[in-house]
Amino acid sequence: MSSWDTPERRLLRETVRRFSETRLVPRLAQWEDDGVVPREVHRELADAGLLAIGFPEGVGGSGGTAIDALIVAEEIILSGGSSGLVAALFTHGIGLPHIVAAGDAGLVDRVVRPVLAGERIASLAVTEPDGGSDVAGVRTRAVRDGDDYVVTGSKMYITSATRADFITTAVRTGGEGAGGISLLVVDTGLAGVEVSAPLRKMGWLCSDTAGIGFDGVRVPATNLVGPQGSGFPSIMRQFAAERLSIAVQAYATAQRCLDLTTVWVRERETFGRPLSSRQVVRHRVAEMAREVDVARTYTRAVVEDWLAGEDVLARVAMAKNTAVLACDRVVDAAVQLHGGMGCMRESEVERHYRDSRILGIGGGTTEIMTEVIAKLLLPA
Ligand SMILES: Cc1cc2nc3c(=O)[nH]c(=O)nc-3n(C[C@H](O)[C@H](O)[C@H](O)COP(=O)(O)OP(=O)(O)OC[C@H]3O[C@@H](n4cnc5c(N)ncnc54)[C@H](O)[C@@H]3O)c2cc1C
């Protein structure tokens, strides 16, 4: 039996689907118009037992493994949600793991538990206006002064920044390069933290994104995540989870578009016959199904090997690129086969078409993934 399809996980899928179809999907269009998901939805998700899946019970989580957390994201998308909705509701999936891994009881109590209870929101800030791909080039400075770090600099394109209470922030505490980077949890209520107005985007409209300025912000040194200088390896370790999550969101988005298109081509008639009777249409749909299945099968295999402790650095990058490429092609075909309706805001494939564009950019771009693979194949 596939570990993605055990009786417990089938039950989990049903629970997520029910919650999504009743509490999320009917409100999604409004949240897309508003540009934000209300904070209380995090509490609703927590009360339904879905917000903290994949986090250990010892830090306020619901237990389970990454597969359970990925199933939640997958099922939200398959039931009519979106990758933008997953980004908005589960930003803590990238904001908290470094803190949990470092294991500081004070930070767990002050930050991790309230976020997993749906009472607070956590984000991750690595990208800066000067660049996101070059993580080792972070410029935001944190200088130790007594019991505090004084933080100066800025971050860009930060998911959930307009709502976040805590931002796990990559800062430079040492010299140039990867070794000089640390992670510091910045409370957005501190003097000198300035969050920009929401940035206007192509997709992920329900997910707020903003820039953040730090102007001499005094952050207690107790907010340091792990030892000083451990930020870069910590970010790289957690990137595996983020990249695999994006791969899952990509194949789930593609599967949802395939499902919608299969229904559409049966119903839509042109020249007196359903579209599904035309060979060119049938073959296009068959190709969509092939791409989705390959992306899903490969991504799930890499997730399982990653959880088994294998070295999957290159294959995580391959999974992200494979699933993103499949998604790009499938959402494009879905819009094309929907014709004019595919370009209308009222058709779901239109939203997936826009939302999917970020998947090859966030969490490391397609080019950077290819570079990761090349570096391992052809060391300099
Ligand atoms: C909606 C949205 C949400 C986001 N959320 C977050 C978040 O929550 N937290 C966060 O920290 N960041 C976030 N990001 C930022 C995202 O991670 C970065 O945009 C991404 O890493 C790319 O960085 P960049 O935009 O600076 O592009 P750049 O690094 O400037 O790259 C520009 C282009 O050059 C290519 N390129 C760069 N270097 C090379 C190279 N060596 N060889 C070949 N090609 C190269 C890239 O692939 C890309 O195509 C978000 C972005 C978006 C759009």
Does ligand 1 come within 6 angstroms of the Cβ of 133? yes
Q: Which of 1-5, 62-66, 167-171 is the least confident region?
A: 1-5
Straight-line distance from the first to the last Cα atom of the chain, in angstroms, rounded to the nearest whole number: 42
Of the candidates 299, 293, 284, 289, the one whose C-alpha atom is nearest the C-alpha of residue 246 is: 299
Q: Give the C-alpha separation, 287 to 330, whole Å.
A: 9
CA 197 / ligand 1 centre spacing (Å): 20
Contact between 50 and 72 under an 8 Å Cβ cutoff? The reply is yes
Catalytic residue among 74, 128, 242, 291: 242
Q: What is the pLDDT of residue 380?
A: 85
Q: Which of the 8 DSSP states describes residue 357?
A: G
Residues of the chain with pLDDT > 90, as a percent, come to: 99
Give pLDDT tens digits for 339-367.
Answer: 999 999 999 999 999 999 999 999 999 99
Residues in the chain, total: 380
Could you give phi then psi for residue 53, rounded to 5 degrees? -65, 135
Owner of token pair 């995090």? 42
Q: Which of the 8 DSSP states describes residue 131?
A: B
Token digits of residue 49: 């037992």
The 3-state DSSP class for residue 346 equals coil
Dihedral-angle region of residue 166 (phi above 0 means left; psi in -120 to 50 means alpha; beta otherwise): beta
Q: What is the pLDDT of residue 223?
A: 98
Give pLDDT tens digits for 116-171.
Answer: 999 999 999 999 999 899 999 999 999 999 999 999 999 999 999 999 999 999 99
Helix (H) or strand (E) holding 142: strand 141-145
Token digits of residue 158: 């930060």
Whole-model pTM: value is 0.98
Pocket test for ligand 1, best of 157, 186, 375 (most atoms within 8 A of CB): 157
Pocket test for ligand 1, best of 127, 186, 370, 372 (most atoms within 8 A of CB): 127
pLDDT higher than threshold 90 for residue 59: yes
